[in-house]
Structures are given as structure tokens and as C-alpha cells.
Structure 1
Amino acid sequence: MESALALDIRHLAKLDQLHDGARGSLTWSSGASVSFTVTLQGDIGTLTLFYTAPDRDTGERKNVACAIPLSSLPLHYGGYRWYMHCPRTGRRAQILHKWNGLTQFCHRSTVHPKPTYASQRISGSDRIMAQRWAIRRKLGDTSSDLFGEPCKPKRMRWRTFEHYANRDAELAERESGYLRRLIGRLQGMR
């Protein structure tokens, strides 16, 4: 998911770009940019995106004009909430994504295999170690390792430090149990 460009309709609304005849451009931190126009007629409309994308077959960059239908629903206390509709499925969404290799922005459910976040691909022991390192970073502890207990920073209350140290001890116990089970499975494979 992190590698995809995310187009968020709420961001356009925050920039006050959801009105008839609005034109502008969006730029992502990766350097990708998209020009857009908005056409509205009451509570429906179209967001048209203009950008270049590589052709799947030839790899050459080609100009793409992607028309995304818009609709809005009234809110209980006044106003409207705008939604985009996926060009592939018509599914209503506030965020559409564009991955490398695809020419259109689409809902994430249309991509197969389903995209995942990097944190979803971390194994059990790696996740535990990441949590233990996060505790060390919160404490500002740059000198200890995961084999010992964390170091208490100056001016931190002992009660707060003990909370973090107890959480670290729980995680260390879970990690050692995980590793014991893994070693047991590996020995059983002989």
C-alpha cells in the first residue's frame, strides 16, 4: 500500500477544490503529479485527472485522462460528504489508489493479489522486536540492546519507567516463547 499514490477526496475538499470548474494539480512526495478538473451538477459530478503513465505492453509513457464519477450524501447536521466512484467497479470510496503498472486510479479491492501494508508482512518475532525497539526509542535509550533491561532516562518518573520496563519484560517473554516453539518445530523436522 505504501508504494501506491493515494487520491483522497477529503484533501480536495480541504483545499476548497470541490466546486464546479475547479482546476489544479496535486503533487505527492514521490514527485508524481496529477492535473485535475472538477465538473459538478448538484450532488453529482466528475473529477477528471490528467497524467502520464507507462503503457503495460510497450513501457512507453502515454497521456492518460481518467474520469472519476463523484457523488455526495447529505449529512445529518447539514452539508455534504463527497465520494469518488472507482472507474473499474463503481464502488464508492473516499480514497482511490494508483499502483505502478496500472493506468487508472482505482479502489484497493480491485487489485489482485490484495495489497498489504508493510506492517502486515512482519513475522511474529520481528513484530515483537520492533515493539521492544519502539520502547527503547520512547525512553531515549541508545546504549542498551534487547538482551538487557532498558535504561531509565534522567527526570523520568520511576512509575512511568517501570510501566515501560514491565511492558518490555512481557514482550521479551513472548519472544522467548515464540523462539522456543520455533526451535521445537525445527527439531521435530529432523
Structure 2
Amino acid sequence: MGSGRGYQGGKATTSGCYQIDVRKLQRAGALTASASFGWHWSRNGESVASIRARAGGDRVTLSYSHKSSGGDWQAMDYPVRLEWTDCTLGGRRAWFLCPANGCGRRVALLYLGSAGIFACRHCYRLAYACQRETADNRAMRRADNIRERLGWQAGIANPSGGKPKGMHWRTFERLTAEHDAFVGVSLAGMAARLNLMERRLDGMGAALYPEG
């Protein structure tokens, strides 16, 4: 697999990296002693990367091949220690301890970055994509989340659908009102950006083609 990183504002984001989630592994029962499992990433229904892993005691050992830009493929095989904490309502929760040198942070997610190992977002200085969202982009994302919950087609430009079977009318009316409010914010933001772009283009035209 490649290092596959996404960028926003010149800084890599978590959404652009391959990641492994210890919570999913625990729910799948993959952290039991001597368990062996695979982790796959897909795009458009096709597998684009995968790793093999095996659990044992207080650690999970990751095995995969990594290739940085312009470099050769390297076989990677190293352990990631686990730590367990008690949950308030009973049971235990698993955590990764970041394997990067000098770190050891307790985290739920590890990301593959340029160093070729899975480490925490602090080590790779990754930003969350939502931290870089504009207000209208955030409103669009929230509107799409509501559309997904209602079973409507994704995309605020698409028509609204009906009430899902089994949903109370009061819930449906609240969600549609929130959806419409988010759509309004998103469209207003896009209109403002387009207006600003037009003003900039007009200014450039005036500079390039002065009257007279």
C-alpha cells in the first residue's frame, strides 16, 4: 500500500490516510489471544489495500508491505501494544498504544503516514477534515447526514423524499426543518463565494484591459 495522504490547507488530514480502529477489532472479536485477521480498504467496491494482523496477549502484530513515493517496497512487521480500561457500565475497552518512538499515547485510531508505520494523528500532525470546513460546507455535510437518516438521495441539489416508514411525524418534521435550515446556510455560503469570485474576476479584467 502507498502512504495515501489527503491535504487541506497544506496540512494532511485523517480522512486522507489509511486507518485501523481498535473499537472495530474489539467488536469483531479479533483481539482474543491467537486470533488472526485481515483489514481491507476499498474504493468503489474494489479492494485498494490490506494488511494482516495477529493478536496475542497485550499486543497486535501488523504485517504488510509499504511503499513511499519513489521508493521500494518494504516488508513491515511490528507489534502495537494494547491497553484495557474498565467501562462505567461493565466490561472493558481496548486501546492502542501508539508504536511511534517516544509516543505511546492511548488512542482508538492509528493512521498510516509517510514514516510507513501506523501511528496516532498527533505523531503525524494530522488535522480532522471537519476542522477545516467552512460554515457552508459543514451545513452541507449535516444536511446530507439528515438525508441519509431519512433515506433520501444524497446531495442537497436532489429533491426531498417522503417520511420513512415507522418514523414519527414529529421526528420527521423536526429533521426536515433542520435539513432545510442547513441547506439554506449552505446555499447562502456558496452564493457569497461565487459573488466574491465574480468581483475578483471583474477586478482582474479591469486591470488587464483598462478602458481607453
The letter for the 1-side match of 2:56 is: T
Tell me the TM-score normalized by structure 2.
0.59
Tell me the TM-score normalized by structure 1.
0.65
Larger CA Rg, structure 1 vs 2: 1
Corresponding residue to 2:28 among 15, 27, 52: 15
Give the secondary-structure state (helix, strand or coil) at the position aligned to 1:73.
strand
Q: 4+ residue runs of structure 1 moved beyond 3 angstroms?
A: 119-134, 162-190
Tell whether the 8 Å contact from 2:32 to 2:55 is kept in structure 1 after alignment. yes
Correspondences of 1:148-163 after superposition (within 5 Å): none
User: What displacement does 1:11 show?
Assistant: 1.3
Tell whether the 8 Å contact from 1:51 to 1:64 is kept in structure 2 after alignment. yes
Report the identity percentage: 23
* Partner of residue 32, structure 1: 49
| Distance (Å, rounded) in 2 between the aligned partners of 1:55 and 1:135 | 38
CA RMSD of the aligned region, Å?
Answer: 3.9
The letter for the 1-side match of 2:83 is: S
1:75 aligns to 2:87 (yes or no) = yes
Is the deviation greater in 80-89 or in 119-128?
Answer: 119-128
* Partner of residue 105, structure 1: 118
| Distance (Å, rounded) in 2 between the aligned partners of 1:164 and 1:73 | 38
| Distance (Å, rounded) in 2 between the aligned partners of 1:166 and 1:21 | 51
Give the unaligned 5+ runs of structure 2: 1-13, 145-153, 163-172, 208-212
Corresponding residue to 1:139 among 160, 163, 171: 160
Tell whether the 8 Å contact from 1:128 to 1:175 is kept in structure 2 after alignment. no
